[in-house]
Chain A
Amino acid sequence: MSLADSDHELVVEELGREPTPAEAALFENLWSEHCAYRSSRPLLSAFESEGDQVVIGPGDDAAVVALPESEDEDEDEGGNEGADTEGDDTQTYITMGIESHNHPSYVDPFDGAATGVGGIVRDTLSMGAYPIALADSLYFGEFDREHSKYLFEGVVEGISHYGNCIGVPTVAGSVDFHADYEGNPLVNVACVGLTNEERLVTAEAQEPGNKLVLVGNATGRDGLGGASFASEDLAEDAETEDRPAVQVGDPYAEKLLIEANEQLVDDGLIESARDLGAAGLGGASSELVAKGGLGAHIELERVHQREPNMSALEILLAESQERMCYEVDPENVDRVAEIAARFDLGCSVIGEVTEGNYVCTFEGSEARSASDDSSGDDGEPRERETVVDVDAYFLGEGAPMNDLPSEEPAEPDTDLPDADLTEAFDAVVSSPNTASKRWVYRQYDHEVGVRTSVGPGDDAAIIAVREANTGLAISSGAAPHWTTTAPYDGARAIALENATNIAAKGATPLAAVDCLNGGNPEKPDVYGGFTGIVDGLADMCETLSTPVVGGNVSLYNDSVAGPIPPTPTLAMVGTKDGYDAPPLEVQPTAEGESELLLVGDLALESDAFSLGGSEYLAQFDGSDQFPALPSDEQAADLVGTLASVADDEATLAVHDVSHGGLVVALAEMITDDAGLDISLPDVSDPAGALFHEQPGRAVIQTESPAAVRDAFDTVAPVVSLGAATANGTLSLTVDDETITADATEIRDLRSTIEDELE
Chain B
Amino acid sequence: MTVSIIRFGGSNCDRDAERALSHLDIDAEIVWHEDGLPADTTGIVLPGGFSYGDYLRAGAMAARSPIMAEVRDAAADGTPVLGVCNGAQVGCESGLTDGAFTTNESARFQCEHVYLRVERDDTLWTAAYDEGDVIEIPIAHGEGRYEISEERLAELEDDDRVLFRYCDEDGEPSAEANPNGSKHNVAGILGDRETVAVLMPHPERATLPDVGPTDGQGVLRGFESA
Contacts and interface: CB of A to CB of B under 8 A. Distances in A.
A81 B54 CA distance: 24
Given A78-B28, A166-B12, A446 B54 contact: no
B34 interface: yes
Contact of B109 (A160, A253, A450): A160
A28 B15 CA distance: 44
B138 A447 contact: yes
B54 A165 contact: yes
Q: Which secondary structure dominates chain B's binding surface?
A: mixed
B210 A447 contact: no
B111 A453 contact: no
Contact of B111 (A251, A343, A445, A451): A445
Contacts of B21: 78
A449 B17 CA distance: 9
Contacts, number: 108
A739 interface: no
A77 B50 contact: no
Nearest to A344: B9
Given A79-B16, A450-B16, A450-B204, A165 B50 contact: yes
A403 to B, nearest CB: 48
A58 interface: no
A255 B20 CA distance: 22
Among the interface residues B17, B55, B212, which one has the most CB atoms of the partner chain A within 10 A? B212
B19 interface: yes
Contacts of B152: none
Interface string A638-674: 0000000000000000000000000000000000000
A157 B111 CA distance: 13
Interface in A501-538: none
Given A79-B18, A444-B111, A758-B106, A252 B138 contact: no
Contact of A447 (B15, B28, B111): B111
Contacts of B112: 442
Contact of A255 (B12, B108, B110, B210): B12
Contact of B53 (A250, A441, A451): A250
B53 A442 contact: no
Interface in B1-38: 9-10, 12-13, 15-23, 28, 32, 34
A256 B109 CA distance: 22
Contact of A342 (B34, B109, B140): B34
Contact of A445 (B32, B140, B211): B140
B50 A78 contact: no
Contact of B20 (A81, A450, A464): A450
Interface string A332-353: 0000000000111000000000
Contacts of A451: 211
A446 B111 contact: yes
Contact of A343 (B9, B52, B204): B9
Nearest to B106: A758
B59 interface: no
B49 interface: yes
B134 interface: no
B13 A251 contact: no
Contacts of B202: 447
Interface in B63-113: 106, 108-112
Interface in A79-111: 79-81
B117 interface: no
Contacts of A578: 210
B208 interface: yes
B165 interface: no
Contact of A448 (B10, B23, B140, B208): B140
Interface of A: 77-81, 157, 160-161, 164-167, 250-253, 255-256, 342-344, 441-453, 464, 466, 578-579, 758
Interface of B: 9-10, 12-13, 15-23, 28, 32, 34, 48-50, 52-55, 106, 108-112, 138, 140, 142, 202, 204-205, 207-208, 210-212
22 contacts: A77-B23, A78-B19, A78-B22, A79-B20, A164-B50, A165-B53, A166-B12, A167-B50, A250-B53, A251-B50, A252-B52, A255-B12, A255-B49, A255-B50, A344-B9, A442-B111, A443-B108, A446-B111, A447-B140, A447-B205, A578-B210, A758-B106
| Closest 8 pairs between A and B when the two form their complex, measured CB to CB | A167-B12, A252-B53, A79-B19, A78-B22, A79-B15, A79-B18, A77-B22, A165-B50
